[in-house]
Structure 1
Amino acid sequence: MKALLPVIPRTLARQDVDQALERYLREQAVPAALGLIDALEQAYAQIARHPTTGSPRYAHELDLPGLRSWPLKRYPYLVFYVARSDHIDVWRVRHERRDTPVWLHPDAPSASDSDPQG
């Protein structure tokens, strides 16, 4: 059996999740916040098991080879990531209605950038 790659969220991805959780908690929607955490853990497990399972749609649209996205179950968020040889590099966790090209340009990490903390 193939070893699972560790999923390493970048700083911006962690901030995205924190902001989403804060929104749910401000609305006193604790079950929704807990559900978001569960859905995110499930998504991370899925992309760790099957890194190529995510959609390459934005990779093609934005000319960022290797970029993939995976939707959270029951939540309107997408996990944007690049599969590296030794880990899954999670760039962002964004609401599906956000303007993706805006946050990817011009300061987005490149697909060859291997710093998972960036």
Structure 2
Amino acid sequence: MTELPTVREFTVNQGRRHGLTPEQASDLELIACERVTNSLTQAGSPATVSVWPEDGHVVCQVSDTGRLADPLAGRRPADPGQLGGRGLLLVHALADLVRTHTGNCGTTVRVYLQQR
């Protein structure tokens, strides 16, 4: 996916369909848009976005062909005055669990939001 309006509509609809509250669906929208924006600007490739229910959670997975160099990205605060580097911090703040896998074929971020 490369069009953010499409990502927004898809994630909100899927989040609501799978039992997220309106507030959680909004969080899911923000998470997915942040990850897709990162895919486009950092990896230079479109992202694949998937959403599904799993064991009392809604899972959103965003994959791209980029490689994440910092294994702790999103787990440490950004340096003051740093222009970027806050997207994964935001994702971690909004999600119940974030799993990131990066390798030679690209990066996959899987985000879990507990159904309420």
Structure with the bigger RCO (C-alpha within 8 Å, sep 6+) is 1
- TM-score when scaled to structure 2? 0.31
- TM-score when scaled to structure 1? 0.31
